[in-house]
Amino acid sequence: MEQGTFLYVNGKKVYFDSERNVLEILRKANIDMPTFCYHSELSVYGACRLCVVEVEGRGIVSSCSTKPEPGLRINTSTSELREIRKISLELLLASHHQECTSCIKSSSCKLQEIARKLGVTEVRFSRTEKKLPVDSSTHGLLRNPNKCILCGDCVRACSEIQGIGAIDFAYRGHDLQVMPSFGQLLGEVQCVECGQCARVCPTGALTPKVTVDQIWSVLENKEKVVLVQVAPAVRVALGEVFNLDPGTDCTEQMVSALKLLGFKKVFDTSFAADLTIIEETNEFIQRKQRNKNLPLLTSCCPGWVKFAELYFPDLLGHLSTCRSPQQMFGAIAKRVISKQLGIPRERIVMVSVMPCTAKRGEASRPEFADELGIPDVDFVITTQELALMIQQAGLDFKNLPPESFDLPFGFKTGAGVLFGASGGVSEAVIRFAAEKLTGQPLEQNDITEVRGENGIRHVTFALGEHVLRLAIVHGLRNARRLLNEVKKGKLAVDFIEVMACPGGCIGGGGQPVYNDISVRKARAKALYRADKNLQLHRSQDNPYIGMLYESVLREPGSHEAHTLLHTKYINRASLFEGEVILSGSEDTNVVEVKLCLGPQCLSKGSDELLNKIVNYIAEEGLTSRVMVVAHSNAEGCSQESIYATVDGEVVERCSFETLREALLHRLSEVKEIE
C-alpha cells in the first residue's frame, strides 16, 4: 500500500513525490495529457494551453506550470476543458500551413496526433496563414515558418541544451515569429546544425533535410560504384520507424535492406572508429608525455567542432587533428577500393548513413576533398532518410533475411561500436591507452565510470604509474561551462570528450524522433550489448586495421596517416563582415551605439542586451538621435564583458545599466555642444 503525500485526480487518490508539476503526476497516473510545449529536458513554458486542468477552488490552470500540493482536487476531462483544448488546437490549425500528406514529419507530427486524439474533424476559424519563405540555407536542416505553431520548443532546445540561441522569438502579437536574429537565414547565424531544434519541434517547421532523390539517382547510374557506410548509432534506432522496440539492434535487417536498395558494398563506420582510436590515442599519449596542448579535445562530432571554431577559437590547438570516423572512412575507402577494383576514384560514390544532421555540413568542408574537388564522402543521409528509402522501396523490414557487412571495412571491435554513446570514445581510448602505456591489456574491458546520463562527468583513471584525468560532456551548453572552467584554470584535465547531442550520437537530430529519455537510454544499452556480443573489444585487436597500416598507412601518425586521416580547423569567430544598422539614421549628428555580436559576446548575452537597448531607445523617443549598429569584433570578443562602444568610447563592464548611462551621458554632451 502506497504511503506519503497525495492529491486527487478525477476523484481518485494519486500519490506523488519528486514530480515537478501536476502534469508529471497525471502522466504517472496514466493520463496522457496533450501538450506541445512541455519537454522533460526543457524548462516549463506553458504556452500551448492544451494541458489545462480544473483545480477545485482555483479554476482552470495549466498542469505543466502548476506545482503539486497535498489535497489538490483536479479534474482533467470536463466538457469545458475538452472544448478549450479543441478551440486552442483549431486556432493553431487556422494559421498552419496544412500540407500534411507531403510533410516529412507526417508520421511523427504531434499536431496531427493531438488533433486526432481530441476529435478535431473541422477547423471553425478562418484561415489566417501568411506565406513565408522556406529557409534551406544550411546543409542539414530545413526551416518552414509556415508550419510553426510558436510553441517555443526549438528556441529553448537551442538555448537550454546547446547554449547557442541561434533562433528566438521576434516581433509581437499577430506578427510573432520564431526566426534567426535580424531576419537572417539559419545558415548565416551561429547555428551548428546539431538538429536538436528539429528533434523537439512537434510539427514540420524544423526538420532534417531530405535528399534521398539524389541517392536514388546515383544508385541508378551504371557508371558509378556506390558504397555505403553506416554509423553505429543508426542500427539501434532505425527499427523504431518499423515498430520495433527502442534499442532493438537491427543490424542484419539494415544491411539486408541496404543491399536490396542497390548499394555495391555495405560497410561499418565502426571500422573507422577503431582507426580513429589508434590515431587519436597515439596523439593523446604524445601530448601527455610532452605536456603540450592539454587537454586534448575530441574531434568526432561535427556540431561540436563547429561550435569550437565559433566560440573557442583560442582552444583549436587543443582539438585533436583526427578527422571524424566518417571522414576517415571516406578517404580510406576511396583510395583502397579504387585500387582494388582498378577504377578511377571519381567513379566511386561514398554514401554515409548517420544519426546526425551536422554530418552533411562536415562532408562538404573543402579540406575533405581531393585536388579535383571530389569529396571523400559524396552524400550523407540520416537515419530518418534511410527509413524513408526502405519504405519507398516497399521492403518488409522486420522480415528481411539477415545479411552481414562486407569485408574488410565491415569488421569492427566493440570499442568502435561504443562511439555512438556519450563516453564511448573515452572508454575506447582507455582500452588502447592501457596497453600502450603499461604493455598489458586491461583485465576488464568495461569501464563503467565513463558511462552515464549526466551532462558532465569526471573520471580519474590509473594505468600503472600513469594517471589520466578525463572529462566527458554532452550538450554544448555543458561543453561551454566545462571549457570556461578549463580556461580560467579551475579544472585540470588531460582529455575531454565532447558530443553535441544529449546522450551522444544516439540522440542525434537525424534519428527517429523521440520524446521520452528512456528511448535514448535503451539505444545506449543496445550499443553496450553489441560490444559485449562481439569477440574483440579493443581497437588495436582489429586485424584489418593492422593490415591497413601495413599496406597503406605504415604507422600511426605517419605522413601517409596525416594526409588521409587528419585535418585542420578554421577560426569562425566572425559571423559576418561589416556592420548592420538596426535603429536610427546615418545622420552625422546622431550618437552611435555599437554592439558586438561575435560568438564570444553572444555567449555573454549581447543579443539580449541589443534588444533591450533598441527597445529603450524606441520607448524614450530617441530613435532620431541614436543609431544602433551591430557588428562582429573578434578583438572585442576577447574581453571579459560584452564589447560595446558609444561614439567610439568602450563601455567598461558593459551591462544594460552601464550602456544606458554611457548613452545618456553622451547625449547630454552632444546637446550642450549644439
* Residues tagged active-site: 280, 283, 300, 320, 359, 362, 367, 505
Check the CA dihedral 584-588-591-596 and report its sign: positive
CA distance 383 to 398: 16
- 302 upstream amide cis, omega within 30 of 0: no
* Residue 484 CB neighbours (<10 A): 13
- Count the helices and strands in the chain (H runs, E runs): 22, 22
In contact, 216 and 498? CB cutoff 8 Å: no
Of 270, 269, 283, the C-alpha closest to 228 is: 269
CA distance 296 to 316: 10
| Residues 95/99/100/102 CA torsion (nearest 10 deg) | -160
The C-alpha atoms of residue 359 and residue 382 are separated, in whole angstroms, by: 9
Dihedral sign, CA of 57, 58, 61, 63? negative
Could you give the angle at which helices 302-311 and 476-487 cross, rounded to 10 degrees?
50
Q: What is the DSSP string of 312-372?
A: -GGGGGGB--BPPHHHHHHHHHHHHHHHHHT--GGGEEEEEEES-SSHHHHHT-GGGB-TT
Type of residue found at 533: N
Dihedral angle of Cα 629, 174, 34, 104, to the nearest 10 degrees = -70
The rounded Cα 17 to chain-centroid distance in angstroms is: 32
Tally of CA atoms within 13 A in the half-sphere of 331 that contains its CB:
27
Residue 412's H or E segment, with its range, is none
Determine the distance from the C-alpha atom of residue 569 to the mean position of all C-alpha atoms in its chain, rounded to a whole number: 20
Do residues 573 and 312 make contact, with C-beta atoms less than 8 angstroms apart? Answer: no
Burial class (CB in 10 A: 0-12, 13-18, 19+), 587: exposed
3-state secondary structure string across 568-631: CCCCCCCCCCCEEEEECCCCCCCEEEEEECCHHHHHCCHHHHHHHHHHHHHHCCCCCCEEEEEE
Backbone torsions φ then ψ of 567, nearest 5 degrees: -150, -175
DSSP state of 380: E
How distant is the alpha carbon of residue 208 from its chain centre? Answer: 11
Residue labelled with grid coordinates 503526476: 25
Residues in Cβ contact with 112 at an 8 Å cutoff, skipping those fewer than 6 apart = 100, 106
Query: Which positions ≥6 away from 83 have C-beta within 8 Å?
Result: none
DSSP, collapsed to helix, strand or coil, labels residue 199 as helix
Q: Which of 299, 268, 296 is nearest to 365 (CA)?
A: 299
3-state secondary structure of 538: coil
Is the CB of residue 441 less than 8 Å from the CB of residue 540? no
Q: Which long-range contacts (CB under 8 A, 24 or more apart) does 447-454 make?
A: 450/423, 450/426, 451/421, 451/423, 451/427, 451/524, 451/528, 452/423, 453/503, 453/517, 453/521
